[in-house]
Amino acid sequence: MKIYVAEDYQSMSRKAANIVSAQVILNPASVLGLATGSTPVGMYKQLIDWYNKGDLDFDQVKSVNLDEYVGLAPDHPQSYRYFMQTNFFDHINIDPAATNVPQGLAADPAAECARYNQVIRGLGGIDIQVLGMGHNGHIGFNEPGEAFELETHVVDLQESTIAANARFFEKKEDVPSRAITMGIKSIMQARQILVVVSGEDKAAIVKTAFTGPVTPLVPASILQMHPNVVLVGDRAALSKL
Ligand code: F6R
């Protein structure tokens, strides 16, 4: 695993964007695995900036997102599709038809998971998967205890995750209780993984995940077994490593 220590959130975002843009420059038809959440927002901003300067072209890029809430429409302000449109896709020249996020409104979420697995396979797999990490070590919506061998599947969200995400909704009851997520197996099949972490509140879980035992109780700990992981964090998040 390679580790880059950045001074602060901004330089962490810039370093992460450097790595994604290197991928896109070297392979203009890259398949990007993307994440939502607060951590990668600065990375997306930086990529948009370089696109606007003419340094990046997303014309042939394809994307697959990690996860989506079950029951939220694509234009719901808290849906992950909406997040991706407003934070990234609407500002670059990626082909809208080449962007994939699980469909939260699918009538049959299990069938949607099977379809999504086929989408990832059809694209030939993921070249670089961007991941944030939850305070409990979740990656995507793979919560502690989740089997390592799953591909895209439906999960019941844990109380702690619902509570952490409640800040984005009017009230806690509005947070969906289920989500569709790529599984650990899908994530581990990506050819490269870029983990972004920021802030002192992530320091303890970063240490546990990357220096502790590999266990389903800390989903991100499986990343220790991936041959091509880059961890980019600010000094605060990496302070306990
Ligand atoms: C987002 C996702 C989540 C987040 C994680 C960290 O698509 O799957 O696993 O990456 O919850 O979120 P932030 O970055 O908000 O701390």
How far is ligand 1, taken at its centre, from the CA of residue 64, in Å?
15
Task: Give the rounded percent of residues in the chain with a pLDDT score beyond 90.
Answer: 91
Residue 18 is predicted with a pLDDT of: 98
Ligand 1 interacting residues, C-beta cut-off 6 A: 35-39, 66-67, 132-134, 138-141
How far is ligand 1, taken at its centre, from the CA of residue 36, in Å?
6
Between residues 238 and 169, the one the model is more confident about: 238
Task: Give the rounded percent of residues in the chain with a pLDDT score beyond 70.
Answer: 100
pLDDT tier at 38, thresholds 50, 70, 90: very high
Q: Tell me the residue type at 216.
A: P
* Ligand 1 atom nearest to CA at 199: 16
Residue 93 is predicted with a pLDDT of: 98
Report the C-alpha gap between 219 and 138 in whole angstroms.
Answer: 5
Answer yes or no: is pLDDT of 172 > 90: no
Is 67 part of the annotated catalytic residue set?
yes
How far is ligand 1, taken at its centre, from the CA of residue 237, in Å?
14
Is 153 part of the annotated catalytic residue set?
no
Answer yes or no: is pLDDT of 203 > 90: yes
Residue 214 is predicted with a pLDDT of: 98
Choose the residue to mutate in 13, 34, 39 for probing ligand 1, maximizing ligand atoms within 8 Å of C-beta. Answer: 39
Report the C-alpha gap between 102 and 171 in whole angstroms.
Answer: 24
Q: What are phi and psi of 238, to 5 degrees?
A: -100, 5
Residue ranges of alpha helices (H) inside the chain are 9-26, 41-52, 80-87, 109-122, 159-165, 184-188, 203-211
Rounded mean pLDDT, 56-79: 97
Choose the residue to mutate in 13, 43, 66, 130 for probing ligand 1, maximizing ligand atoms within 8 Å of C-beta. Answer: 66
Pairing of the two strands 229-234 and 2-6:
parallel
Q: 185: how many CB neighbours lie within 10 A of its CB?
A: 17
**What's the token pair of residue 119?**
């989408």
Residue 178 is predicted with a pLDDT of: 95
**What's the token pair of residue 214?**
């590999």
Given the residues 68, 143, 146, 234, select the one marked as catalytic.
143
Answer yes or no: is pLDDT of 57 > 90: yes
Choose the residue to mutate in 87, 101, 136, 138 for probing ligand 1, maximizing ligand atoms within 8 Å of C-beta. Answer: 138
Answer yes or no: is pLDDT of 100 > 90: yes
